[in-house]
Chains A and B, each alone.
Chain A
């Protein structure tokens, strides 16, 4: 019997990165090794669970259009906003929204990753995220938020600040945006 692959290698079996040779090697091992068969099953449950969570719109993440396209294919109801640097918008979430997507436009030249911070008018921090990956030279960062979380947000202005994270050629403020959150609305209201 061949040497047991690592859990990472077994998880790679479920990705598009696995070459036919990788797939064959893993399968030949797994059909001889019950322990690795169980781990391969665990990796499957994990990837399926991640997919199910994403499909339910219950995950907050910085994503790309590939994820948004998949959400659209899965029939997830997405509300989108786009903001230029310094822009303030009035935003809300409707009862039938699943996910709220915000396209944060900025010049990300010289930026390898950003830190994001959302503060209420009072100065209180409402949310924070560190080391968000971004391609140097990109022109927007896409944030997907569960609509259920937005519904819980205070009805108040909030300021989102993006800063170049450590390791970037540019640090300091990259862009700021203001959200005048107007709460959750019903279609018949």
Chain B
């Protein structure tokens, strides 16, 4: 059932996609379903939309904010805004819901960064202990990663540690190892491929 109060741009595709399971629907059809009058259908669509996009917002947050807790907060805040806007029929083009989620993420991350800067300034001023959460919640992955990291070539292990632990650029690594940035990137990609193969295959040699 499509409610007359739903804007026209939300109606047509929603009517056509009602028979398709939510998990199989395109993002746009799902976005339209959020504003459906059938509250059970709308609720299920919201859940599916959250399942699809919250992890992406979390990844975006990890890149642009200071830590995993902030990324988690961002994901929840962004999805709340997105779903509210969809419910109200305020998303101009539901077929571009991915772009809408990304745009909302960018806007809200900028706001959170301002808050973070103010918080960091207060910490410095009052010498408070740092309460940020770091990446220590991956112990399961670490137990699988350690033997694979030990099994790859020396050169590649050095590149991975310098890249992902010391957070050095390819140029800096190339300077340190007497190589070229291009060769470092190639080595990094090769190392990651070997790591994935090792982790997926459970083999270490």
Contact = CB atoms under 8 A, between A and B. Distances in A.
Contact of A41 (B27, B55, B102, B169): B55
Contact of A8 (B154, B167, B188): B188
B169 A17 contact: yes
Nearest to A16: B169
Q: Which of B27, B56, B60 has the most CB of A within 10 A?
A: B56
Given A8-B189, A15-B163, A138-B178, A52 B157 contact: no
A61 B150 CA distance: 8
Interface residues of B, number: 55
A31 B98 contact: yes
Interface in A104-136: 112-113, 129-136
A4 interface: no
B166 interface: yes
B162 interface: yes
Contacts of B188: 8, 11-12, 15
Interface stretch (A65-73, A84-92, A156-164, A181-189): A65-73
Contact of B161 (A40, A42, A63, A113): A63
Given A40-B59, A44-B62, A50-B164, 17 more contacts: A7-B192, A7-B193, A15-B164, A31-B53, A31-B56, A37-B55, A37-B56, A45-B141, A46-B145, A49-B145, A50-B161, A52-B145, A60-B150, A61-B157, A64-B177, A132-B154, A133-B158
Nearest to A13: B63
Nearest to A71: B165
A53 B192 contact: no
B45 interface: no
B154 A51 contact: no
A56 B146 CA distance: 10
Contacts of A28: 99, 102
A59 B169 contact: no
Contacts of B179: 133
Interface residues of A, number: 58
A17 to B, nearest CB: 5
Nearest to B64: A23
A14 interface: yes
B157 to A, nearest CB: 5
Contacts of A46: 141, 145, 192, 195-196, 199
